[in-house]
Amino acid sequence: MIVASPKSITELKSIIEGHRKVLFVGCGTCVTVCLAGGEREVSISSYAIRMARRLDRNPVEILQITIERQCDNEFLKELAAPASEAEAIVSFGCGAGVQAIAERFPGKPVYAALNTQFLGVLEQQAVWTEKCMGCGDCMLAHFGGICPVTRCAKRLLNGPCGGSTETRCEVDPDRPCAWQLIYERLKSIGQLGRLEEVVPPKDWSTAWYGGARKIVRREHQV
Amino acid sequence: MNRFGQSLLSGRMITTAEVLAPAGADPAALRALSLSVPSFLDAVIVADNPDRIRSSAFSAAVELSRRKAAGVILSMTTRDRNRLALMSDALGAAALGVEGILCMSGRHGSIDICPEAAAAGDFDSIQLVQAMKRMVLDGADPKSKKKAPALNLQIGATVHPYLRPLQLNLMCVRKKISVGADFLVTQAVFDTEEFESWMAALRRRGLDKRTAIIASVLPLSSGEHVRALQRSRMYGPIGDDIVDRISAAPDPAAEGLSIAAEIANILRGIRGVRGIHVIGGGCGLVPPEMFSEKAGWKSEDRGSVNA
């Protein structure tokens, strides 16, 4: 899923400082699951911002709604009525959700309440870790299902760097070295021979470097 | 073949030293650095922003090449340059007299260097060695139909004697050799026993015969310096005996030179070691006293490699 984290109340308050009636929009999908932008978080943030603005003697009216998915035009229709009442919209969706709402409401300021972080998994309660950077050309088959493009801090495709130890990455003592994980994994699935293959330079043209990407699958178009 | 290439093939123990380009843009500092290179060195290896933003390694390497005091090896990290910049810098360096490229991934930028910077990470160091070797063998422009002249560059990589598990370590060494590394420079060695066991593993597989292993030493300058390195584990284990010696010495820097010279003497005696590289430890160039008899440096040791 897409993992995000909330901006601070101080930052969010400063972003909407000039508005007196604002619509806060939660998203019911990824950011609800990662406890950053669902109905509950919208409610808590609304309360905190209202309180802070009241203390500043600059009250703000906040409308709240949480829709199923902000990245799907179908669900954005629900925003038409409340959006028409508000001066501005604050999206508690990921970066895609924020931009989808901005496109849908061209005359309305739309702001992000979250910092969108990564594609990841729930590792343990309230701990998420990054697993995929969406490079557009998945190489997981080479590496026993552990992605060095995302999980090696130097994106090394042919083995660990000199800073690797058996327990951790050079960059972060809390993070295991991806290459030690790949080694253990390939050993456990009987594919250590893959380590001897020289992996050629990655073709990054499928990744973001050519600009924002687009997928058209004609077989699904009507 | 250039001088450094001839040194690698000479069969004698070679000596190289690290050069750090000045942090500023003072032309006098760069000139002074180039004039301070001892003439007996086989080569200097110019580091590529290993600790902070410095004047470019490329420019320092070219200035040093002009002085012709020693062969010049340019370090290039895959951290700061994508393939376009790496390849074009190598071509320019070869044209201006640089004799070799040391390919490395580089210390991660987030570790006290420039945490805000985006890393290139286009190639990794093994891919860089491979690309450089292809350029050396096939000429500058592999897409051109006309055969371009081959480049006169020795291509090296770094290896890490203390990386474990050993099987993973040896895989990295094998890959670097298989893509054509002419020489391999190790991390600074402090634990010579562990180094010897790593070299023995290389010898058993005949890897020491397929490339030139150059072992590094690093003169420690103070108790603070050694404790910081011990904590960072950047160069593998550093024994408490070394920490105690530096800390108790009346002149810690002189003691650091002596320890480095002692380690160099041990390394020269290990079968398969083809040279010693002296890391500057933050200096532009290691102080000339490093190579003095007072420090215990065997400068006359130009005999054949203990193969």
- In sequence order, what are the residues at sequence separation of 6 or more whose Cβ sits closer than 8 angstroms to the Cβ of residue B224? none
Contact between chains at B111 and A170 (C-beta distance less than 8 A): yes
pLDDT digits (tens, 9 = 90+) for A76-121: 999 999 999 999 999 999 999 999 999 999 999 999 999 999 999 9
Q: What is the pLDDT of residue B150?
A: 78
pLDDT in tens, B141-178: 666 666 667 789 999 999 999 999 999 999 999 999 99
So what's the pLDDT on residue A185? 98
Yes or no, beta carbons of B163 and A170 under 8 Å apart: no
Which pLDDT value is given to residue A53?
98
What pLDDT was estimated at residue B144?
Answer: 66
User: pLDDT tier at B179 (50, 70, 90 boundaries)?
Assistant: very high
A127: closest CA of chain B, how far (Å) = 22
The predicted model gives B15-32 an average pLDDT of: 92
Instruction: List CB contacts (< 8 A) between B108 and chain A.
Output: 153-154, 163, 170-171
* Separation of alpha carbons B71 and B61, rounded Å: 10
What is the distance in angstroms between the Cα of A186 and the nearest Cα belonging to chain B? 11
**For position B303, what pLDDT does the model report?**
43
Residue B101's alpha-carbon distances to A39, A42, A114, B118, B175, in angstroms, are 57, 55, 45, 23, 17
* Domain annotation for chain B: domains and CATH numbers: 3-219+260-282 (3.20.20.220)
All structural domains of chain A: 2-117 (3.40.50.2300), 136-208 (no CATH)
Confidence category of residue B3, pLDDT binned at 50, 70, 90 = very high
CA A136 from centre of chain: 17
Distances (CA, A) of A92 to A11, A47, A100, A102: 14, 15, 12, 13
Tens digits of residue pLDDT in B207-216? 999 999 999 9
Q: What pLDDT sits at residue B307?
A: 45
pLDDT of residue A149: 97
Of A18-32, A121-135, A151-165, B286-300, the least confident: B286-300
Instruction: Name the nearest CA neighbour of B268 among B226, B293, B220, B300.
Output: B300
For residue A126, the Cα-to-chain-centroid distance in whole angstroms is: 15
The per-residue pLDDT for range B285-297, each reduced to its tens digit, is 998 899 999 999 9
Query: Cβ of B130 under 8 Å from any chain A Cβ?
Result: yes
Q: What is the DSSP letter of A210?
A: G
Give the one of A158, A192, A204 whose C-beta lies nearest to B124's C-beta. A158
**Residue A5 near residue A117 (C-beta atoms within 8 A):** yes
Rounded mean pLDDT of chain A? 97
Does residue A190 have a pLDDT over 80? yes
Q: What is the mean pLDDT of chain B?
A: 92
Contacts of A158 in chain B (CB under 8 A): 124-127, 172, 175
β-strand pairing of A114-124 with A127-132: antiparallel
Give A-chain residues touching B123 at CB under 8 angstroms. 201
Tell me which chain B residue has its CA closest to the CA of residue A162: B160
CB contacts, 8 Å: A196 with chain B: 171, 174-175
The beta-carbon neighbor of B171 closest among A154, A159, A202 is A159
Interchain contact B194–A (C-beta under 8 A): no
Distance from CA of B260 to the nearest CA of A (A): 21
Question: Is the pLDDT assigned to residue B302 strictly greater than 80?
Answer: no
pLDDT at B84: 96
What ipTM did this prediction achieve?
0.93
Per CB-CB distance under 8 Å, the chain B contacts of A166 are 164-165
pLDDT tens-digit readout, A27-50: 999 999 999 999 999 999 999 999
Q: CB atoms < 10 A from the CB of A220, how many?
A: 6
The pLDDT tens digits for B230-270 are 888 778 899 999 999 999 999 999 999 999 999 999 999 99
Question: Quick check: A158 and B78 CB within 8 A?
Answer: no
Q: Do B174 and A196 touch (CB under 8 A)?
A: yes
Interval A60-76: pLDDT, tens: 999 999 999 999 999 99
> A-B interface: how many C-beta pairs under 8 angstroms?
82
Give the rounded percent of residues in chain A with a pLDDT score beyond 90: 96
Nearest CA of chain B to the CA of A59: how many Å? Answer: 37
Å between A202 CA and nearest CA of chain B: 7
Which of B201-222 are b and which e, b meaning 16 or more Cβ less than 10 Å from the residue's Cβ? bbbeeebbebbbbbbbbbbbbb
B250 CB-near residues (< 8 Å, 6+ apart): none
State the pLDDT at residue B231: 84
B186 touches chain A (CB under 8 A): no
